[in-house]
Structure 1
Amino acid sequence: MSDIIQLLPDHVANQIAAGEVVQRPASVVKELLENAVDAGATQINLVVKDAGKSLIQVVDDGLGMSMTDTRLAFERHATSKIKSAEDLFNLHTKGFRGEALASIAAVAQVQVKSKTEKADVGTSLQIEASRVKEQQACVTPKGTSIAVKNLFYNIPARRNFLKSDAVEQRHIIDEFQRVALAHPKVGFSYVHNSSELFHLKSANFRQRIVGILGAKTNEKLVPVEEQTDYIHLKGFIIKPEFAKKTRGEQFFFVNNRFIKSSYLHHAVNAAYEGLMRDKSIPSYFLYIDVDPKTVDINIHPTKTEIKFEDEHSIYAVMRSAIKHSLGQFQIAPALDFDRDTDFDTSYEQHKKPISNPTIQVNRDYNPFEVETPRKATSNFSNHKPIIPNAWESLYTDIQPQKDKVEHSSKFLNAPLENNLFQHEAISESIKCFQFNGKFIVADINDKLLVIDQHRAHSRILYEDLMKSITLDAAPCQQLLFPLEMEFSSADFQILTDVQEALVLIGFSFEKWEDNETLISGIPSHVKESDIAAMFDQLVADMRLGIPKNNFEQNDILAKSLAKNMAIKSGRILSTEEQHDLIHQLFTCKEPTKTATNQNIFINFAHQDLEHKLL
């Protein structure tokens, strides 16, 4: 039998290694930014075109490289960060494996210009698919400039698997923010398709967070700091009332390296216990400094997962420090026994319309008339106070009001094959009742239907929203006072992609720039108080859905908004509202399933019920 095992050529081995290191354009951005930080740069500029598919360029003012180092940097396992295996347990830098540049050069066209401070001229190097095309001296400023062009040009299959520019752009922004937050003393800028998205100057931790997430974030931050023999914890958490229902602003940094840890995330949630709404996720920016010998960061190709020597101690310190900060800055609720409750307005009374106060005047009173004390007393005692009409309403009107179902008054009216209504009169004569505040039980055409009211309304709204986006724009209800909202750059980019669709379903915007928006109008069936939570959920759904085209984008948008706007379980509905909901459900194109393919109702024939009773 002949020998069948052979050594792979270097360029093939580099392409295989690139599969772990270079997964998408954001992976290249991460590696190049971290190399620039390790080079001691004080200013790093990122330039991207077509979401990194055409160009990724990182320019820094760091130490630079000599001609020999420039060439060796692109060899496999070539690094200046470690010299022995023991150095792996004393790491203070980002990249140390020596695979990044070699892997990038294997799947792209790379041009490097670098110069040290003492050198008279710099070095220019061009590499394509791991092969050096040109190396020569050049005039360039101190530092390094690396341009990665046409990523995956020699591996079409990998390039075809890349997502849309909008999706890849979001991943790049995520990586940029992680590196920028980890190194606030370094200035960063980010330009995408000739448009500057970030311009961050050297700052402290708080200023860097505000620079990335917006000026309004400053008032939401609560500082956290704790020093022990094992760990130094510092950073900021967000006040509980600003907690979101989606992830995206949770950052852990261990020795200035971004990591992901569900265990430490649980410690943060435990500290917030009892202070947040259900299913809310707090935002945090926590920096952990520990001895490098007590952590292992070489357990994952992207180095975002690490292993602590004593993670239980870190858990306890983090939970305790956050609890202390919430109490120290009076974030946790407290009872005030000294407060005067005489000026409090009852919960039901504040719902009443405001009316002008009435003043009763004694028109017979003469201030110049001399009266004896006895007469004055007599006049006062004989004066009958005027009692306002319907004074009993102050007590009898305090009755809980049933919530009204809020939904669009106009829905699709196309004829349906599976419509259970034979004619309009049936919808008015059907017998139905609400069960457990969640289900509507109805007797329709000798069948007993159990309908989930939230899912039913969600289906109605979904079809209404899709109709507004694709056919007829929905009416807009103008707000008396416009609602101002601010988003992070990544979230604002996501919303920008669906701005046109938002306008079609009834939103109106006076301002849409600089990561801020001014909402002047909303759909008629949306509460103003629900807008913030609705947009947060929409951003999260768009991230998870990763739309590939406009149809998928509109579909995700309609699903997200319909789910948030639909009536919730536990809401009490009147008989008329139940009839209306049932009728509109069975005028939908698909009344049996939600947009996410969940059953809306189940039905029982009378014969089935009789059989079960046997």
Structure 2
Amino acid sequence: MTPETEATDSLIRIMPESLANKIAAGEVVQRPASVVKELVENALDAGARQITVILKDAGKTLVQVIDDGCGMSPADARLCFQRHATSKIRTIEDLERIRTLGFRGEALASIAAVARVELKTKRAHDEAGYRVQIEGGRLIAAEPCATANGTSVAVRNLFYNVPARRNFLKTPATEFKHIVETFQVLALSHPEVGFTLMHDDVEIYRLVPETDPSPAERLRRRIGTLFGPEYALQTIPVEETTSYLSVRGFLGRPELHRKSRGEQFFFVNRRYVRHRYLEHAVTSSYEQLIPEGTHPFFVLFLELDPRHVDVNVHPTKAEVKFDDERGIYGVLRAIVRRALSMADLIPQLTAAPPASVPATTDAATERPNRRVDLPGATPLRIAPGEISRRLYAVEPAEVEPAPQPTVLPSSVRPETDEEAPEHDTLIWQVHERYILTQIRSGLLLIDQNAAHERILYERALRNLESGFGLSQQLLFPQTLEFSPADFALIEELLPELRALGFDLELFSGRTVVVRGVPDDIRPGDERTMLEDLLAQYKANLPLRLSSRENLARSMARRNAIRPGTRLTEKQMRTLIDQLFLCETPYVSPTGRPTMIRLTLEELDRRFGRA
């Protein structure tokens, strides 16, 4: 058989280059927002300090990106539309050192294959610019032209030669929404760059370059400009460094929660990525801080050696893989939990301790940019009394070493009226329900019942996890009769009940002898404690909690301080100390807030002083 005959019989053909480019374009260019992303990333890689995005008909008719970057030579202007033409990498080793946003050399070729594209570019030292025009992958014109320094790329009639793709585009409102989301991501990643967005001759955004010396302040201002001033005010700064990676950015306060994940931004080496595993490390830290079904706001930047992250996973470069995802997850979760736990304490402290107070290296007084060790930082631990000392300090001259508080019992026992505070302190009990105290930034109002529930809940969880809770033996054991269903439930929960501190003996039938109870039970409650605990446990069953969490919640709710209980100053201070030592001090186990903070700014505004 001759080669000619073989060719005639062959069913496999090599596709024309124009057809192959159109097919490949589908991976890179999915909608007008994809064009905006690729062109703006090229502008950022070119060192632009000002970028303008111009749209017509939500990008279907026109997407134009103008920048003041370094520009290109005439040869590069012609070559950049060839597939796999790039200035970013030369060898396979360069893939391990990628710091630029683009590197695959596919974006411009893909865009040019499905649209009418005009490029104008000029370097600062060139006398004239250069213009390249391409339609459907075919070169139409390449000639000198007059243009400003930098590059302008105009993409018209996207998918004009692929009708099926054009028909699949959504409504202009939907496509414009995707473009705005892409624009916000790119503007967040580079606060030092100015961005302008124009749509149908209407200015949507004009973001000036942020010039503050502090990168954190530049990012905070950009967040406020993009999303509104309330976002900038309700964020918690994060800045931690390890030998493996650094994390910086902002976490939204719990009250800034949203119904969707649309306002969660992860950047790896300033590249926006979607990574559900790492997103979970952040969102799980907000557990019980925000209502179920809602999502926190955050903008986080991870910086690490490019050798530890693979960005060449997908043509859109929105997915990455790490060589130690588990380790990064642990570090990130520890950093976020630490920031959330310190959020309502650190901002109230003075910038530095006065001369009369020795400086401390405790974790609570360290400024940002601390170092933690892999695979994760341990939860914050502060010595009892330290929080009160800082929280209530008024003036440096008045600061005295705080006495070591006593351990708060499960039920704070009311003391007699004679045991009033010996001196005036900035702490009050309001209607025997709330604790009011002055803090550096204003006032802090604490719900004593919700706060004590949180303390008891975490204590019960620790006892259940360790399998050992302190027990007090009863002088006269109590014999209780239960229904068959409750008796069966006690049998099922017996190991957990013993871990909480119950000393129980089960007899045949429905009899249970209670010989010991947890050491923090209120006096006189021994007989009803187990009955009430089972009733609360059954009431929680519709929540589908684990048996441990259900028991911990039930114990906390059963034994927490009741509204109407009078507390002494010492008890109130101890309650606050133990609350801030909790891993999640801001909400009760059932999701009720434990505290409300009123800032001086808010008080001034309410009194008309703003």
Name the TM tier (shorter chain).
0.5 to 0.7
Q: 1:281 to 1:331 in 2, by over 3 A?
A: farther
Partner in structure 2 of residue 230 of structure 1: 244
C-alpha separation in 2, matches of 1:342 and 1:311:
48
Equivalent runs, 1:478-557 vs 2, <5 Å: none
**Partner amino acid for 1:12?**
L
Partner in structure 1 of residue 98 of structure 2: 91
Partner in structure 1 of residue 588 of structure 2: none
Partner in structure 2 of residue 121 of structure 1: 128
Partner in structure 2 of residue 112 of structure 1: 119
C-alpha separation in 1, matches of 2:222 and 2:290:
26
Alignment equivalent of 1:257, drawn from 241, 248, 271: 271
C-alpha separation in 2, matches of 1:46 and 1:244:
28
Partner in structure 1 of residue 369 of structure 2: none
Partner in structure 1 of residue 158 of structure 2: 151
SS in structure 1 of the partner of residue 166 of structure 2:
helix
User: CA shift at 1:280, angstroms?
Assistant: 2.3
**Do residues 132 (structure 1) and 146 (structure 2) align?**
no
Alignment equivalent of 1:302, drawn from 303, 313, 316: 316
SS in structure 1 of the partner of residue 142 of structure 2:
strand
User: CA shift at 1:340, angstroms?
Assistant: 5.5
C-alpha separation in 2, matches of 1:200 and 1:53:
24
Deviations 1:3-61 (A, max 9, x none): 23222222111111111111111111110000000011010000001000000000000
C-alpha separation in 2, matches of 1:83 and 1:42:
26
Q: 1:271 to 1:342 in 2, by over 3 A?
A: closer
**Partner amino acid for 1:309?**
D
User: CA shift at 1:331, angstroms?
Assistant: 6.8
Alignment equivalent of 1:22, drawn from 12, 26, 29: 29
SS in structure 1 of the partner of residue 39 of structure 2:
helix
Alignment equivalent of 2:327, drawn from 306, 313, 332: 313
Partner in structure 2 of residue 376 of structure 1: none
Deviations 1:371-428 (A, max 9, x none): xxxxxxxxxxxxxxxxxxxxxxxxxxxxxxxxxxxxxxxxxxxxxxxxxxxxxxxxxx
Equivalent runs, 1:189-200 vs 2, <5 Å: 189-200=196-207
C-alpha separation in 1, matches of 2:243 and 2:172:
47
C-alpha separation in 2, matches of 1:331 and 1:134:
64
C-alpha separation in 2, matches of 1:256 and 1:91:
12
Partner in structure 2 of residue 56 of structure 1: 63
Alignment equivalent of 1:6, drawn from 13, 23, 48: 13
**Structure 1 alignment gaps of length 5 or more:** 348-435, 438-614
C-alpha separation in 2, matches of 1:142 and 1:214:
33
Deviations 1:323-359 (A, max 9, x none): 2222222179x99998855532769xxxxxxxxxxxx
C-alpha separation in 2, matches of 1:223 and 1:49:
38
Alignment equivalent of 2:87, drawn from 52, 56, 80: 80
C-alpha separation in 2, matches of 1:63 and 1:303:
23
C-alpha separation in 2, matches of 1:135 and 1:261:
42
**Do residues 293 (structure 1) and 380 (structure 2) align?**
no
Alignment equivalent of 1:244, drawn from 237, 240, 258: 258
C-alpha separation in 1, matches of 2:164 and 2:287:
47
SS in structure 2 of the partner of residue 34 of structure 1:
helix
Alignment equivalent of 1:211, drawn from 217, 221, 225: 225
Contact preservation (8 Å) 1:230, 1:290: yes
C-alpha separation in 2, matches of 1:305 and 1:331:
36
C-alpha separation in 1, matches of 2:24 and 2:149:
31
Alignment equivalent of 1:344, drawn from 427, 431, 445: 431
Deviations 1:250-304 (A, max 9, x none): 0000000001111111111232223222222111000000000000011122111
C-alpha separation in 2, matches of 1:102 and 1:308:
29
SS in structure 2 of the partner of residue 299 of structure 1:
coil
User: CA shift at 1:306, angstroms?
Assistant: 0.5
C-alpha separation in 1, matches of 2:429 and 2:155:
70
SS in structure 2 of the partner of residue 59 of structure 1:
strand
C-alpha separation in 2, matches of 1:180 and 1:340:
45
Alignment equivalent of 1:175, drawn from 179, 182, 196: 182
SS in structure 1 of the partner of residue 203 of structure 2:
strand
C-alpha separation in 1, matches of 2:185 and 2:231:
17
Partner in structure 1 of residue 602 of structure 2: none
User: CA shift at 1:157, angstroms?
Assistant: 1.2
**Structure 2 alignment gaps of length 5 or more:** 1-5, 211-217, 347-386, 392-407, 409-424, 435-538, 541-610
SS in structure 1 of the partner of residue 126 of structure 2:
coil
Q: 1:340 to 1:96 in 2, by over 3 A?
A: closer
Alignment equivalent of 2:73, drawn from 42, 66, 70: 66
C-alpha separation in 2, matches of 1:346 and 1:225:
37
Contact preservation (8 Å) 1:152, 1:158: yes
C-alpha separation in 2, matches of 1:38 and 1:201:
19
> How many equivalent pairs are there?
350
Partner in structure 2 of residue 508 of structure 1: none
**Partner amino acid for 1:300?**
H
C-alpha separation in 2, matches of 1:269 and 1:4:
53
SS in structure 2 of the partner of residue 126 of structure 1:
strand
SS in structure 1 of the partner of residue 244 of structure 2:
coil
SS in structure 1 of the partner of residue 55 of structure 2:
strand
SS in structure 1 of the partner of residue 316 of structure 2:
coil
Equivalent runs, 1:558-597 vs 2, <5 Å: none
Contact preservation (8 Å) 1:51, 1:166: yes
Partner in structure 1 of residue 38 of structure 2: 31
User: CA shift at 1:174, angstroms?
Assistant: 1.0
Partner in structure 2 of residue 397 of structure 1: none
Alignment equivalent of 2:338, drawn from 324, 333, 342: 324
C-alpha separation in 2, matches of 1:61 and 1:4:
50
C-alpha separation in 1, matches of 2:260 and 2:289:
17
SS in structure 2 of the partner of residue 123 of structure 1:
strand
SS in structure 1 of the partner of residue 250 of structure 2:
strand
Alignment equivalent of 1:279, drawn from 293, 300, 322: 293
**Partner amino acid for 1:102?**
A
Alignment equivalent of 1:269, drawn from 283, 287, 295: 283
Partner in structure 1 of residue 513 of structure 2: none
Equivalent runs, 1:381-392 vs 2, <5 Å: none
Deviations 1:553-590 (A, max 9, x none): xxxxxxxxxxxxxxxxxxxxxxxxxxxxxxxxxxxxxx
Q: 1:342 to 1:149 in 2, by over 3 A?
A: closer
C-alpha separation in 1, matches of 2:169 and 2:186:
23
C-alpha separation in 1, matches of 2:85 and 2:64:
22
C-alpha separation in 1, matches of 2:432 and 2:326:
48
SS in structure 2 of the partner of residue 124 of structure 1:
strand
Contact preservation (8 Å) 1:239, 1:331: no
Q: TM-score under structure 1 normalisation? A: 0.55
Deviations 1:155-191 (A, max 9, x none): 1111111100000001111111111111111111100
SS in structure 1 of the partner of residue 48 of structure 2:
coil
SS in structure 2 of the partner of residue 232 of structure 1:
strand
**Partner amino acid for 1:10?**
E
User: CA shift at 1:321, angstroms?
Assistant: 1.3
SS in structure 1 of the partner of residue 239 of structure 2:
strand
C-alpha separation in 1, matches of 2:199 and 2:318:
25
